[in-house]
Structure 1
Amino acid sequence: MDSIIFDLDGTIWDPIDTVLEAWNRTIEEHDEAGQTMTRADFEGVMGLQVKEIEEKLFPDVDEEVRSRMLQACLEREEELLGKRGGRLYPDVEKVLETLSRSYKLFIVSNCQDGYIETFYDYHKLERFFEDFENPGRTGLSKGENIKLIVERNNLKAPVYVGDTDGDRKAAESAGIPFVYAKYGFGHVEKHDEVLETFGDLVKLY
């Protein structure tokens, strides 16, 4: 193994409390949105691309209105995350520092453009990562973005760490091993390795 590619939400941090506040503030400004969101609503869509989230959370809202409202949600989300950040899982900085001495580290997340940069800016963790990618920049699936990172950085033996079955499928489509972050938001039956905590990465590798 020469490198580790990470998912972000549910793997490195839990941003839901901040995101929930941002979205609910915006939803309250749009009568057509219906009731405000709960943490369970967001846990159920973590790992999906923005378009899929929009369809699952607001299925009865007109598509044009829905897209406009979602854009407002994302803008407020980025603004609030920039002020408050999210909740890092225990020992993230220490573990990343240890891993970065032996492996190249990357992030591939199903997020909008600017989201990973906001994570970097608030938590000051950019120094540990070589590169990142997301569909907000490329328009590609997570599996295709993983392949892009692998090719762009000439990786020979990467693994992907994530917390959802979508992450597993993405790693599988990219042809690399999948490490399941069991402490995150999803439930995954098939995996190559499993982490009970983020810190287990140091024991594993």
Structure 2
Amino acid sequence: MEIKLTVDIPEFSQQGESYVTRRFAPALQEVADYLGASARQRLMVETTRRFSDPVAWTINAFAYRRAGTPDSPGSYVYVLERQARYLGLEVTGGPRVGGDYATNAGGPLVPASGARGDLDPQGNLPRDFVRDAVAAGARWAKLKPGQPEALVLPGRGPLQVLAVVARKVDYQPRFPFQDIVRDAVLEKAPAAVAKYLA
């Protein structure tokens, strides 16, 4: 008994391409979407774990969107623009100097001992702190020649220093964004593939 198989290569190739275009590529995009969402969720969890009492604005700093092409599906995970200015040095480390986000021309404003009671739960000066302090009689003064100014509240006792302008504040990286995303993708990829490509 003889068995012969014949394959219509052009037809087989056309059907294979059609399958990839109609079913496989969209399923791969679903996998990429799932992994992007998983990475975003992991970043939010890690934000609450790595920062002391972060506000919702910081926790919700992450997003993802579809990236790539129909032939090469993907997902792009990123930090929202406004939060990226704030979180950038937490990811990369480096100096924050005058003119950077959340600084004045002389440099970052650092709370001093006289402002301890006024700090918000995250350890920052409240948004209107300087305006309110000046309204209460505080003034800017140079405490030492050649050094940046300080916001001081004169009184009957010793001079109360509320905040000082630092020429720079050095940050050490403490939020490994890329590692967090990679770990989330590696952990969730098997389940995503099983769910969307089974």
TM-score bracket for this pair, using the shorter chain length: under 0.3
Question: Which structure has the highest strand share of the two?
Answer: 2
TM-score by length of 1: 0.21
